[in-house]
Amino acid sequence: MDAIKTVKDAITIGLGILSAGFGLKGFLLSSHFIDGGATGIAMLISDISHVSISLLIFIINVPFLWLGYKKLGLQFAIKSTLAIGLLSIVVAIVQFPDVTHDKLLTAVFGGVFIGTGSGLAMRGGAVLDGTEIAAVLVSKKTQLLKVSDFILLLNVLIFSMAAFFLGVEPAMYSILTYMAAAKMIDFILNGIEQYSGITVISTHSEAIRKAITETLGRGVTIYQGKSGYGKDGYINDARDIVFTVATRLEIPSLKQTILGIDPKAFIVQQSIDDTTGGLLKRKGLH
């Protein structure tokens, strides 16, 4: 089983490297647009100094890989070092066609292929951009910055420098590239079945529980709570609170079922980054 997983991870990372390389050489480099993170820093320095982009991609990521080794383990560091090293080699020697000279298409699809590559590498247990390692470690050290905050601040700095050295227009297109890449990473990691948590507060909680478990085939968790102040006017009235997790495609039918039982039900929906264990797939219904 471990051997199969290793092969699967290697194929996934390999496809990610090819996708990211295609995004760089097939779209971005010829138009002098950049991405965010360490790759964006390498692209910006290469444009200014004319140093080889493939060499810079690896060199700039070395400190982050060292941090990854110290904090996240040897296996992660080895996978990521090999992935970034192979990406540098692909950028240096593989000839990709220059797909389009349209600036908007270049920005969007360059980001799509780079984001796809980064997402696939992450699914394989590696990274193609070391700044994400730093973001995780910084967020653990301080409560003031979340991972997303750190990445945002770093990229604001990178794109500000791009506007100064490359011009405002290339910097604006580069921001589009980064946004497209970020969306693709999110899609690759979470997919179309991204989960949402649904909390339901209702006086008909038992009927709602049965509908969710028996009709929709989802697992639920029941909390015991009391009414504070709401539509029904009852204060300190004990009631069960129903919590379930569903994919975003199932949310409309789930809400329709709940409101069909109790039109006054209070429904809270929140996105969930990840889940482990529990009944996440629909169980067989009879």
Predicted confidence (pLDDT) per residue in 138-151, tens digit: 656 666 666 567 77
Domain ranges of the chain: 2-190, 195-271
pLDDT at 232 over 60: no
Edge-first strand listing for the sheet containing 220-226:
220-226, 238-247, 195-201, 266-271
Alpha carbons 13 and 76: distance in angstroms, whole number? 12
More confident residue, 81 or 132: 81
Contacts of 164 (CB under 8 A, 6+ apart): none
The tens digit of pLDDT for each residue in 47-91 reads: 999 999 999 999 999 998 998 888 778 888 999 999 999 999 999
pLDDT at 213 over 70: yes
Q: How far is CA 44 from CA 22, 40, 109, 175, 247, in A?
A: 18, 6, 19, 13, 39
The tens digit of pLDDT for each residue in 25-59 reads: 999 999 999 999 999 999 999 999 999 999 999 99
pLDDT at 283 over 60: no
Lookup: tokens for 240: 């069960």
Task: Write down the pTM of the prediction.
Answer: 0.75
Alpha carbons 97 and 76: distance in angstroms, whole number? 32
285: pLDDT confidence band, cut at 50, 70 and 90? very low
| Long-range interactions of 254-257: CB distance < 8 A, separation 24+ | 254/198, 254/212, 254/216, 254/218, 255/198, 257/208, 257/211, 257/212, 257/215, 257/216
Q: What is the CATH number of domain 195-271?
A: 3.30.70.120
What does the pLDDT read at residue 219?
Answer: 85
pLDDT at 194 over 90: no
Cβ pair 235, 227 in contact under 8 A: yes
The tens digit of pLDDT for each residue in 251-260 reads: 888 998 999 9
Strand positions, DSSP E, 130-251: 195-201, 220-226, 238-247
The residue-averaged pLDDT of 239-261 equals 86
Q: Of 113, 51, 60, 117, give the one whose Cα is nearest residue 83.
A: 117
Q: Percent of the chain at pLDDT above 70?
A: 84
Alpha carbons 218 and 190: distance in angstroms, whole number? 19
More confident residue, 210 or 252: 210
pLDDT at 262 over 70: yes
What does the pLDDT read at residue 199?
Answer: 93
Alpha carbons 257 and 165: distance in angstroms, whole number? 56
**How long, in residues, is the chain?**
286
